[in-house]
Amino acid sequence: MRVFNNEKVEAYDQTNFSIEDIPDGTIQHTTGTQPRRGLNARHIQMISLGGCIGTGLFLNSGQNIAMAGPAGALIAYCVGKYQDNHI
């Protein structure tokens, strides 16, 4: 995070203020509105499952492209690009 100046300013206690009242380079902290950070066990499981499936698809597609050769790879690319543009 970039620090614009090091001088200390007083905190704002009022809830109604305009953006012009805040000096440049200060951060306004409010209570009760902070997002909660953290990953649950199910989030970790879904990330790991997606990593396994993605790796399998990547390795298997490499084998299929090698078996199809350059013409097959070009045709598959064109078909995939055509589908992406029309979905």
Q: What's the burial of 65, exposed, middle or buried (CB within 10 Å: 0-12/13-18/19+)?
A: middle
Domain boundaries, the chain: 39-81
Give the pLDDT of residue 35: 65
Mean pLDDT lowest among 20-24, 37-41, 82-86: 20-24
Give the integer Cα–Cα distance in Å for 76 and 51. Answer: 24
- What is the arithmetic mean of pLDDT over 14-42? 69
Give the integer Cα–Cα distance in Å for 66 and 29. Answer: 56
Q: What share of the chain in percent tops pLDDT 90?
A: 22
Residue 45's alpha-carbon distances to 3, 7, 14, 28, 37, in angstroms, are 38, 46, 44, 36, 17
Residue 60 in contact with residue 67, Cβ under 8 Å? no
User: What is the pLDDT confidence band of residue 82, given thresholds at 50, 70 and 90?
Assistant: confident
Give the pLDDT of residue 37: 74
